[in-house]
Amino acid sequence: MEGKGLIMKINKERLKTNIEDILKIKYGKTLKNAKNHEKFNALSKSIMLLITDNWKESLNTYSKGKQAYYLSAEFLMGRALGNNLINLGIYDEIKEVLNEMDINLNEIEEIEEDAGLGNGGLGRLAACFMESSATKNLPVTGYGIRYSYGLFKQKFKDGFQIEEVDNWLKYGDPWSIRREEESVIVNFKDGKVKAVPYDTPIIGYGTKNINRLRLYKAEALQELDLELFNEQEYEKAARNKNKAEDISKVLYPNDTKREGQLLRLKQQYFFVSAALQDMINKFKENHGSDFSKFKDYHAIQLNDTHPVVAIPELMRILIDEEGLDFEKAWDTVHNVFSYTNHTILREALEQWDVDLYKSILPRVYQIIKEINKKFIKELGSLGYGYERINSMKIIYKNRISMAWLAIYATHATNGVAKLHTDILKYQELKDWYEIYPERFLNKTNGITQRRWLKLCNKGLSNLITKLLGGDEWVTNLTMLKNLEKYKDDEIVLNKLLEIKHSNKERLAKYIEENEGIKINPNSIFDIQIKRLHEYKRQLLNAFHILDLYYRLKENPDMDIEKRTFIFGAKAAPGYFRAKGIIKFINEIAKLINNDKSINNKIKVVFVQNYRVSYGEKLFPAADISEQISTAGKEASGTGNMKFMLNGTPTIGTYDGANVEIVKEAGEENNFIFGAKVEEIEKIKDTYNPKKYYEKVPGLKKVVDTLINGTFDDGDTGMFEELYTSLLEGASWHRADNYFIFKDFDDYRKAQNKVDVEYKDRLSWAKKCLINIANAGKFSSDRTIMEYAKEIWSIDSRKIK
């Protein structure tokens, strides 16, 4: 039923028997002596038994018409159990059954590992899209890699980030099924590997439809060279096995050296080749070998540039294996592929050395060369000059530009927020937009309200359902707009504050248990949680905290609200400067948290190993959402939407989806600061950060702590390098490339405003309510329906 979870008939006794039988068969244990992870696996497998028939029927129904395929290097799924029970509408019923078995569902949920299949917003977006597709009964399949290990588990040692193996599969994965019979072979110049698919059900809310996420594991064709083994050459005997498994071993292996770059390229080609072979095989089974019809049944979305090698790979398959000529293959490719651009950062627009492609994908490289020739000819026919053509070539100076290949070969290129798309059209990709204006679209990102409100913030979810007289909002988030009528209702506003405080107490307890740091739930929880990158400006936040600390030292009686600054972020293993920022923040935390003279007025916590399940506790507890990236650098952001949905005002720049958030909820209910895109564009070539460094009160003092001995970077040179990058410029960018110094004072003023306005509790609660009420636009349900209608041309298909 629309608006309600599917109420499945649960046979309590059968469920109990299934759980007990699985424990016996899999672990040789009874309920009494089974460990929590074993109970988790048994319960999860029992739920899989409930959904298998609907899953099979969904796939069968989808196979009869056009489908969409979402190719992504990441799917940051988070834990599955709680979300699946919520979507099936049986959470309370299962909890009741488990209570009768003396099993605590909350403990079972906590034992589940976050699947190590993604890292940042790109991967989490893919996960939200998969869930929304199932909820909206859209025939969408996700394709990616089944990484044996995630990016890494993050620990801090003396304030430094330490990377440990993220063995997310240590207890097994009850939510996936190995499909050995549908394995395919992927060919590289230096050998072949087997791609083995693992299927995970994606359960929609309030529907019987169940979609599929298919992830490939790389395995050797011959696991062991028995002849070498018998000759006692044990390492050589297993060499092929290890080499093959390396491909799907780790998410985003370090690529600072050639070997790492080759492995990354192999990863990308591995999963797209396997996915395309799978699509071709199923097309032949269902529709025969007339490939002129392939585009009638397939829409393939490339989630950023990682899977763009799928374009020449499909050309290769159609030409070399299915006998199409180049132009017919090109017509098919152009019609089936579309591309999502996630960045305007030039350094993040993926490029590959020609040599790398030649060394492992020579035929694919030949096809890219042919596509490049075709494109140059087209540019020439438009009267473009030599320099302009060079700037747009797919292959230029022995580098392959994957973004250029994607834009030229696909029928649609979309940005992920209105500002982002406008910057692409009128600045970064202006030349392309002039030629292909019809191809450029905006699809503002979204989040699934099932996980990011109904599951993770049950108190607020229940209040909304009560106020709106039902839970239709769970599948129609625009219904939240009706909450605005309560904006002056003191009973509702106080209830909202009460729920927020309860969430803060829950987070404080979790942080004390996991980080060993005690924080005050009565303080403002000021939270910045996202990938660690310079443009996201965690450093600006850190400088403000240190400045506030120094002001408190000078004036201990300063009247401010107590505040807890919470960070969560991982730095890529090879990103030296980002690691330096983490160390700097942890040094600030050590200084502030151990200074009793400031009477615990401020505290700093950098949580370890930030991930989806940690986010489920952080987002509902936040009082202020830090979205402070340099204007024009954040494509969209989805963390900003999660905070908004959970009733948290934003302190941020006019960047990414912040622009749309403020438009929906009003600038008076958020805290906007900093230079806008237009201003930065005007000053970027003449910008002198030293002017601000010398003249802005307090700024020089905090910046100089990087080099004056206030903090210790363990003789790594991290802090000096960071200082130099700000004042002189370093490695690949100019001084203060992200305008931290320029925005510092304006940010400080915005933070002062937060402090003042937070004191009026009912007025603050009103801001929170209005943010919730206007979050309806930011549902991934809305986004995915726009993709379905405007890019993929697919319709919802509900199973009987």
Cα 385 from chain centre:
40
Q: Which residue among the candidates 79, 530, 617, 766 is catalytic per the annotation?
A: 530
- Quote the DSSP letter at residue 629: P
Amino acid at 779: S
Q: Which residue has the tokens 């952080």?
A: 618
Q: Which residues of 483-513 are buried (b: 16+ CB within 10 A; e: fewer)?
A: beebeebeebbebbbebbebbbeebbebbee
DSSP structure string for 98-128: HHHTT--HHHHHHHSPPPSS--SHHHHHHHH
Alpha-carbon span 664 to 670, nearest angstrom? 11
**742 in active site:** no
Catalytic residue among 79, 533, 563, 642: 642
> How many CB atoms are closer than 10 A to CB 682?
11
563-568 β-sheet, strand order: 602-607, 563-568, 524-529, 624-627, 650-652, 671-672
Q: Is 189 a catalytic residue?
A: no
Question: Catalytic pick from 200, 343, 413, 638?
Answer: 638
Spatial distance between the Cα atoms of 579 and 156, rounded to a whole number of angstroms: 11
What are the backbone angles phi and psi of residue 332, rounded to the nearest 5°?
A: -65, -50
Q: How many CB atoms lie within 10 A of CB 755?
A: 16
Got the DSSP string for 265-276? HHHHHHHHHHHH
Q: Which residue is catalytic, options 266, 316, 342, 601?
A: 342
d(CA 590, CA 130): 41
Cβ contact 367:324 at 8 Å: no
Taking each helix axis from N to C terminus, what angle separates 658-665 and 761-773, rounded to the nearest 10 degrees? 110
Active site residue 501: no
Buried b (16+ CB within 10 A) or exposed e, 232-251: eeeeebbebbeebbbbbbbb
In terms of DSSP H, where are the helices of 594-717? 612-621, 639-645, 658-665, 677-683, 689-695, 699-703
| Amino acid, single-letter form, for residue 446 | G
- Count how many Cα atoms sit within 13 Å of the Cα of residue 413 in the half-sphere of its side chain: 30
What is the secondary structure of 542-585 as a DSSP string?
HHHHHHHHHHHHH-TT-----EEEEEE----TT-HHHHHHHHHH
| Residue 302 · residue 308 · CB < 8 Å | yes
Name the active-site residue from 45, 536, 537, 563.
Answer: 536
Active site residue 530: yes
What backbone torsions phi and psi does residue 422 show, to the nearest 5 degrees?
-65, -40
What's the angle, vertex CA 285, arms to CA 279 and CA 291, rounded to 5?
65
> Could you tell me which of 403, 312, 429 has the C-alpha nearest to residue 351?
403
Beta bridge partners of 706: none
Alpha-carbon distance 352 to 266, whole Å?
12
| DSSP category for residue 476 | -
Tokens of 705: 């702590």
Give every CB contact of residue 465 below 8 A, 6+ residues apart in sequence: 471, 473
Query: Catalytic one among 451, 495, 531, 544?
Result: 531
Closest listed residue to residue 148, CA positions, set 24, 55, 241? 241
The answer to whether the beta carbons of residues 141 and 199 sit under 8 Å apart is: no
Q: How far is the C-alpha of 252 from the C-alpha of 575, rounded, in Å?
A: 13
Clarify whether 256 is annotated catalytic: no
- For the chain, helix, strand, coil in percent to 5 are 55, 15, 30
Closest CA to 508 of 620, 611, 593, 646: 620
Contact at 8 Å (CB) between 305 and 350?
Answer: yes
Neighbours of 340 (CB within 10 A): 28
DSSP three-state, residue 704: helix
Is 316 one of the annotated active-site residues of the chain? no
Q: Phi, psi (5° rounding) for residue 717?
A: 80, 5
Give the residue numbers marked as catalytic. Answer: 342, 530-531, 536, 638, 642
